[in-house]
A = this chain, B = another copy of it.
Amino acid sequence: MGLTCAERLAELGLVLPPPPAPAAAYQPWDTLGDTVYTAGQLPIVDGALLRTGRLGDPLTTAEGAELAATAALNLLAVGAAAIGDLERLRVVKLTVFVASTPDFTEQHLVANGASELLAAVLGGHGVHARSAVGVSALPLGSPVEVEAVLTRH
């Protein structure tokens, strides 16, 4: 209702982190025409991974959803840097990889943590198509990894 994305972030008590520095062998995003492809984002805060381990054991669905939201906050930072303006960011497609024990089957509920944050901050422009899958392990032992296709609206 008239709030900017930056204001919605502040109401959620969140601060957009600085965009991640490019790693040695790849960069945080690349652009082709109107389409921005992001690198996979982890639940890293101030350079440190918040948790390690898999969903199912030891992490719960609620913990996973919070971690997914943190990864999505990093995605917003990448997107704002790529587009040049958080207010013009639109999320088109989200893929959520969830490190999972073989019997954990709530990847979609973990992914909701990311999806809901994006919609809370970006409004309708944060609503996207999505896949959520359970993987055996992720870099650095991260419980979740979130990548997106983004654009400017």
B-binding residues in A (CB < 8 A): 23-35, 37-40, 52, 54, 56, 92-95, 97, 99-108, 111-112, 115-116, 119, 127-142, 145, 147, 149, 151
Q: Which of B33, B101, B112, B135 contacts A24 (CB 8 A)?
A: B112
Q: Which of B26, B101, B112 contacts A130 (CB 8 A)?
A: B26
A61 to B8, CA, bound (A): 42
Shortest Cβ-Cβ A-B pairs, 9 listed: A40-B131, A134-B137, A25-B115, A37-B93, A108-B139, A26-B130, A105-B141, A30-B129, A25-B112
Contacts of A139 in B (CB 8 A): 105-108, 132-134
Are A138 and B107 also in contact (CB < 8 A) when A129-B29, A131-B147 are?
A: yes
A23 to B127, CA, bound (A): 11
